[in-house]
Structure 1
Amino acid sequence: MANKPKIGLVLANVPAYSETFFNSKIKGLQENGFDVILFSSSKSKVSHPTCKTIFAPNFDLRFSLIFEFIFIFINCLKNLKATYKLLKLNRKDGLSVKSSIKNIFINSHFLPYKLSWLHFGFGTMALQSENVAKAIGSKMAVSFRGFDLYIYPAKFPNCYQLLFSKNVIYHVLSDEMKNTLIEYGVSAESINKITPAINVDFFQPSIKYETKNSVFQFITIGRLHWKKGLEYTLEAFSILKKQNIPFHYTIIGEGIEREKLMFAVHQLNLHSNVTFVGKISHNDVKNILEKSDFYIQYSIQEGFCNAVLEAQAIGLLCIVSDADGLSENVLHEKTGWVVPKRNPPLLAERIVKTIALSEAEKIKIRENAMDRVKREFNLTKQMELFKAFYSF
C-alpha cells in the first residue's frame, strides 16, 4: 500500500509484553494496512519492538535540559506552520502567550508528523494536548477506559471541559461509559463502543469443565488497587469461613495495596485460605485458571476487565460487581452473576448459592459464557470495529 493511513497512538508508557490489549491493537492495525507511530511519555525511552516510537520531551533531567530545549526549538522551526497554528489555537482558547508557548514545548514531539489520526489511548493523555491534532492536520480520537472517566474527574472537576468542546471521536468500552460521556454533553454520534477482546484460541479449556475440587478454588486477577474491591471480597470470604465452607482464594497481581490486603487476611483469619501469587506470565495465568472453579471480580470501579473475559472463556463460573462495564461483561444469571458493589454479605450469599447449584445448572452458565465470549469478544471482531472507527 503506497499511502498507508497513519495512526499516531499516544500512551504514557510503551506497552510491555504482558499488555496484550495495546500490543494486539498495534499488530492488528499493521496487519490491516495501517502505519502505527507510538508516542510515549516514558522516561526510559525503550522503543516498541514493532513500530516507530517517539518520546515526549523530558523536562525532569536538569543536566540534559538545554539539549531538550535546543531539540524543541529546531523542531518548531522545521515545522513552523504547525507551530504557529498550535499557538493560534491555544490563544483562541484563552491561554496566555506564556502558557501557549509552554504548551507548544509539551507537544513539540507531535509537530513533524502528518497523521490520519492522533489517538490518545486514555482520556488523561489528551489533557494539555487538545489542539495538537488540529494543528498538525489530523483527526483526533480519545479512548476512555475507566479510571480516566470515573476517578480522575472526581479528583479534578471540569478537567475535560476543554476537551469536550473539541471535534473529537471517542472510543469507550461499554454502554455505561457512553452514557456517562453523553451526560457530559458529548454527542452520541461521536462516541463509539468497542469492547475489549481476548485471544479466544489461547484462552479455551484444555479439559471438559466441571466443578472438580472438594476445596472450592476461587481466583481474582488484577492490580492490587483499592478500586478492585479486594478488601470487600476478603470480608465475604471470612463469612464463608465462619460457615465452614471449604475454599481457597488465589489473588494474581501486584500493586500498592498488597500490605493492606495481607493485613486484612491476618485480621480476618484467612491465612490458610488466601494466596498472593504476584505477577506471572500468561501461560501461568491460564494454568491457574484451569485449576480453579470460580472467578471473582468484586470491583468498586471497572471499565470492563479482560481478566473476566479470559475466565469465562476458560469455563469458570464468574461472579462480578455491578461496577461500570462489568454488568455488560457478565450477563446476570445467563453467563454469570452480578452483585451490587460494596456489600460483602450479599457477595457471600451469592457465592454460597452458586456453589449449591446443580452440575447441570453450572454447565449451562459455563457454556453460555464460553459461547458468548468466543462470539462477541474475539480479536478479529474487535479489529474490524477499529477499522470502521478509523474510516469515520
Structure 2
Amino acid sequence: MRVAIYSGNIPSTTFIENLIKNISSSGIKVLLFGKKFREVKYNENVEILDTPDSGLELLFFIIKESVKSIFRNPAKYLKTLRKIFTGDRGFKNKLKELGMMLPIINNQPDIFHIQWGKTLQKNPYLFELLSCRFALSLRGAHINYSPLNDNALAESYRKYFPVIDGFHAVSEAISAEAQKYGADSKKIKVIYSGVSDEFRNVKAEIRSDDSGMLKIISIGRYHWKKGYHYALDAMKILIKNGQEFKYTIVAQGEVPEEILFMLDDDELKSRVELKSGMPHEMLMKELSESDMLILPSVEEGIANVVLESMALGIPVISTDCGGMNEAISDGIDGFIVKVRDPELLAEKITELSNMKTDIKEKIILNARNKIKEKFSNENLKKGFVDFYASILKA
C-alpha cells in the first residue's frame, strides 16, 4: 500500500511527523510531497519527493518532471497544464503549482491523505488529475471556525467533502462539525493522537518549591481562540486573592495588542512571562518544570500539549471546548472548566495548588493511564492501518 501524507511542508508539524513515523513502521510505503525546509531522516518506507521553491532549480525540476509525465500519459499532462494555467493567479504562482503537482501525478499513491482542510480550496484540481482514493484529516481550526469566517472555504467543503473516500477526525466533536459541511458519518473514523513513549516513560513527580511560588504554563500560538486574555483575567483574580505565582505563556507569532495592553498592569506584568515558540525538546523541558498546564481556549480539537502534559505527569486545567472532554474526565485525570470564565479558572487553579499530595498523585496516575490506554502510538498505528484498508475496500 502506498499512501501520500500531504501537508505541503517537509518536515511537518509534530503530530503529522508522528503519523508518518508510525504508519511507515507498520510497513506502509509513505510518499511525502511539498517543499522541504530542512533535512530529516525517516525509515526506509518513507520516500521524499520534494519540489524546489523557486528559481532555475524549480524550472529545471519542472522540465524533468514534464518529460516523465509526457512519456507516461501525454493526455494527462496536457490536462494538468490546462487546469493549472487557467485563471489569474500569476505566472510564478502557476509555475510553483505545476512544480507541486507534477511529482504527484508521476508518483500516484493508492491513497492521497490530505492533512489540512484548506488544501481542498487551494488545490481543487487534485480531484480531477489524480485517480487514487482520497482521505482527509479533520483538524482543529480548519473545521471548527475557519469556514465560519470564510464563505468560500465553507463552499469548497460542501463541494468536495462528498467525494472524499474517508475522513480521519481527531475527536468526536470535530466529526460532528464536519458533518455540517456534508461529510458522510459512515466514512468518518475517529483516531486520537498518539503520545510518544518518551513522554510516557518519564516518571511523574510533583514539583516541590519551598518559595511557595506556583508555576503555571500555557503553550500554543497567539490567536483569539486560544483565550489567553481570559487566562490573564484569571491571573488578576489570583493576585487579588494573594496567590504567589509565575504564569508563563509560550506561544508562536506576534503578541496581540490586547495582551500587551493587559500587561501594562504592573502587578500582572511582574508575574507573567511571554516566551517565543521554541524547539519541541525545550518546550517539553519548560512544561516539565511547571506545576500545572492551563488551556484557556475557546476552540480546540484535542490539544496535543494537553496529552503530552498528562503523559509527563503535569496536572491540566482545560476549558470545555471542542474535544477536550474526550481527553479529560473532570476531577478524575484533570480538570474541566467553562469556556470564557476567568473566575472559575482562578478558583480551579487555587483548588489544584492547595490539593493534598496523595489526591494530586492519584489524578496524575489516572492521567498517565488514560494516555497509555486511549492515546498511545500503538492505537494510532492500528487505527490508521485499518482506516486505509477500509478506504481501499470501499
TM-score, length-scaled by structure 1: 0.84
Letter in 2 for 1:364: K
* Structure 2 partner of 1:322: 320
Letter in 2 for 1:147: A
| Superposition pairs of residues 1-392 of structure 1, within 5 angstroms | 5-15=1-11, 19-40=13-34, 42=35, 46=38, 48-50=40-42, 51-55=46-50, 70=63, 73-74=66-67, 76-80=69-73, 83=76, 98=86, 105=98, 107-130=101-124, 132=126, 135-157=129-151, 158-206=155-203, 208-209=205-206, 214-257=212-255, 260-267=258-265, 269-392=267-390
Is the Cα–Cα contact under 8 Å of residues 299 and 322 in structure 2 kept in the other structure?
Answer: yes
Question: Matched residues, percent identical?
Answer: 25
Q: State how far apart, in whole Å, the 1-side matches of 2:119 and 2:67 are.
A: 25
Q: CA deviation at 1:191?
A: 0.5
Is the Cα–Cα contact under 8 Å of residues 162 and 184 in structure 2 kept in the other structure?
Answer: no
Q: State how far apart, in whole Å, the 1-side matches of 2:21 and 2:108 are.
A: 21
Is the Cα–Cα contact under 8 Å of residues 203 and 286 in structure 1 kept in the other structure?
Answer: no
CA RMSD of aligned residues (A): 3.2
Superposed CA offset, 1:190-211 (max 9, x none): 0111111111343454353366
Superposed CA offset, 1:203-251 (max 9, x none): 4543533665611111112223332111211111011111111111122
Q: CA deviation at 1:31?
A: 1.7
Q: State how far apart, in whole Å, the 1-side matches of 2:101 and 2:305 are.
A: 34
Letter in 2 for 1:52: E
Q: State how far apart, in whole Å, the 2-side matches of 1:45 and 1:288 are.
A: 26
Q: Per the alignment, do residues 67 and 203 of structure 1 end up closer, same or farther by CA in structure 2, a change over 3 Å counting?
A: same
Q: Per the alignment, do residues 46 and 144 of structure 1 end up closer, same or farther by CA in structure 2, a change over 3 Å counting?
A: same
Is the Cα–Cα contact under 8 Å of residues 47 and 53 in structure 1 kept in the other structure?
Answer: no
Is the Cα–Cα contact under 8 Å of residues 51 and 58 in structure 2 kept in the other structure?
Answer: no
Matched position secondary structure for 1:248 = strand
Is the Cα–Cα contact under 8 Å of residues 204 and 313 in structure 2 kept in the other structure?
Answer: no
Runs of at least 5 residues in structure 1 that lack an aligned partner in the other structure: none
Matched position secondary structure for 1:276 = strand
Q: CA deviation at 1:184?
A: 2.2
Q: State how far apart, in whole Å, the 2-side matches of 1:227 and 1:298 are.
A: 9
Q: CA deviation at 1:178?
A: 0.7
Q: CA deviation at 1:108?
A: 3.2
Q: Per the alignment, do residues 207 and 110 of structure 1 end up closer, same or farther by CA in structure 2, a change over 3 Å counting?
A: closer
Superposed CA offset, 1:32-69 (max 9, x none): 111111111x3x664543343334586xx587886676
Runs of at least 5 residues in structure 2 that lack an aligned partner in the other structure: none
